[in-house]
Structure 1
Amino acid sequence: MGRLETAVGQKSKPGSLNSKPFSMLPQSLQTRIILFVGW
């Protein structure tokens, strides 16, 4: 559940420390997580 919350944080707070581990993930995995959360 922590990764999903991080994906939401990436959209709302791009500069937050919580988004750093998420931004290091592969781009395809980022998109997959964001689509899953947005769905």
Structure 2
Amino acid sequence: MLDESVSIEEVERLLDVDLFKGEDCETIGGFIIKEIGRIS
């Protein structure tokens, strides 16, 4: 889903959208953090 062209700035912008302020915040945020850890 995420590839190595995703920058930290893009992720920070994604984390700032309303989607991440909902009840799924933990799940989605955790998924992104796991993906970044896997590719970096």
TM-score range, shorter chain: 0.3 to 0.5
Between Structure 1 and Structure 2, the one with more helix by share is 1
TM-score by length of 2: 0.35
Structure of greater Rg: 2
> Higher relative contact order at CA 8 Å, sep ≥6: structure 1 or structure 2?
2
